[in-house]
Amino acid sequence: MGLTFFKNTVLLVVLTIFSCGSSVEKKEERGEKADGGIRVTDDENLITDVEGAIVLGIDQFRLYSELLKNKNVGVVANQTSIKIDMMRNYLNDGTEKIEYQQTHLVDFLLSKKVSVQKVFAPEHGFRGTADAGEHVKDGVDSKTGVPLISLYGSNKKPSQEQLKGIDVVVFDIQDVGARFYTYISTLHYVMEACAELGIPVIILDRPNPNGHYIDGPILEKENQSFVGMHPIPIVHGMTIGEYASMINGEGWLNNLEQDWSKKKMYCDLTIIEMKNYTHATPYSLPIKPSPNLPNDQAINLYPSLCFFEGTFINAGRGTEMQFQVFGAPSLPVSKYNFEYTPQPNEGAKSPKFKGQLCHGKNLQKEPRLNKINLEWLIEAYNANGKKKDFFNSFFVKLAGTDRLQQQIEQGLSAEEIRDSWKPGLAEFEKIRAKYLMYP
């Protein structure tokens, strides 16, 4: 199921004008140096704005073309790594017709004679169709013939052999702003591998659809995993470029089993900033970022409903309402009168309660959230007849702390739990402020 464009999303599409004989200054002259890397802005107004539409990093080729010239390039990408161009055509009767053309980053770079040597793909694969947690094999892109290397399963970090011959890596993946969404973990490992070999990384920045707030408990080091690698809240409120800058600036690379305060390694990082973006800007994704986030509502509810992945409750996998409903056969019909039956589908080959009627709640029309909703989780826990079977071991990894499960089991209210997050969030806000590139 594709995502629906809102009116403001259509306006993000821009007409790209490329001029001949241009050059880009040295990195130090191009942008302002930040703690986490070089920030680049399009001072020459290469991109034509469309009524203040967001201009993505990928659209500003002139700003990174010189960094790729005569280089062997590795690309970290998936199905979201697209640029959208507005095409003005004329019909036989002279009528103007505006069309929008989607081009994948790899195809675009190859069309510009960039030497793309390898593509590294995160969880869900290069085309974004694999289940969560499913092993994705290496291979070759059938369209371009470029070798594909999976960065999921046992090979989460590019090896020296896989990066051999690569001069620069371009990272362009759409994130959704939640700590347990694994694309930022892939970002960490790519930066770390490149830092070890002295390979520069270029981030083509994209909006965070959940960038309008921060919330949740701070991850504790003892609960570190691929679904939570850094001491941040569940909703961090940063773009992928801002987050990369934080990883760099806070010294978190090659430091996962040591004291986070000991800074050891930095990545040569360049961030191609967006234009016309703020953290409060609503953004509707033109391509679903993974199989089980099919639309804007699912993306907004994801930070709240993903907690159910660490319980016996189904969060809509096996339906076309992923992360917009939740339920289980054992929830009482008197309180949970919405019914659905999970069946295998794209992204959920074996969903919880496959073929069983689930009683739950339909959240498809819930207003846009600006905080994590804990009420649904607490209510489902209290309504379940077998509380000792409610949580599984994955819950603590998702929460980043064992305290949340303990608080729910102790009967604390959502507000009491949220109060316990405030000191950690206040401290994180101070750190986050150092790396923000957008208002």
Say what the pLDDT of residue 86 is: 79
Are 292 and 124 in contact by the 8 Å Cβ rule? The answer is no
Instruction: Classify 408 as helix, strand or coil.
Output: helix
Say what the pLDDT of residue 28 is: 37
Does residue 14 have a pLDDT over 90?
A: no
Looking at the chain, the domain(s) classified CATH 3.40.50.12170 span: 7-287
Number of residues written out for the chain: 439
Does residue 8 have a pLDDT over 60?
A: no
Does residue 2 have a pLDDT over 50?
A: no
Confidence of residue 85 (pLDDT cuts 50, 70, 90): confident
Does residue 247 have a pLDDT over 60?
A: yes
CB atoms within 10 A of CB 70: 8
Say what the pLDDT of residue 352 is: 97
Say what the pLDDT of residue 310 is: 98
**Lowest mean pLDDT: which of 25-29, 183-187, 257-261, 355-359?**
25-29
Query: How far is Cα 360 from Cα 380, in angstroms, rounded to an integer?
Result: 9
Structure tokens at 45: 């107004």
Does residue 350 have a pLDDT over 90?
A: yes
Residue that the structure tokens 């993974």 belong to: 290
**Lowest mean pLDDT: which of 93-102, 149-158, 323-332?**
93-102
Regarding the domain with residue range 7-287, which homologous superfamily does it belong to in the CATH classification? Uncharacterised protein PF07075, DUF1343 (3.40.50.12170)
Does residue 38 have a pLDDT over 90?
A: no
Q: Dihedral through CA 225, CA 230, CA 231, CA 233, nearest 10? A: -80
Say what the pLDDT of residue 35 is: 47
Burial label, 64 (beta-carbon count in 10 A; 0-12, 13-18, 19+): buried
Are 123 and 132 in contact by the 8 Å Cβ rule? The answer is yes
Question: What are phi and psi for residue 294, nearest 5 degrees?
Answer: -80, -15
Instruction: Classify 96 as helix, strand or coil.
Output: strand
Query: Residue 311 carries which DSSP code?
Result: B
Does residue 259 have a pLDDT over 70?
A: no
Mean pLDDT score of the chain: 87
Say what the pLDDT of residue 87 is: 75
Are 74 and 60 in contact by the 8 Å Cβ rule? The answer is no
Does residue 194 have a pLDDT over 90?
A: yes
Say what the pLDDT of residue 50 is: 63
Looking at per-residue confidence, does 85 or 257 come out higher? 85
Say what the pLDDT of residue 34 is: 44
Q: Could you tell me which residues come within 8 angstroms of residue 133 by beta carbon, excluding any fewer than 6 positions away? A: 123
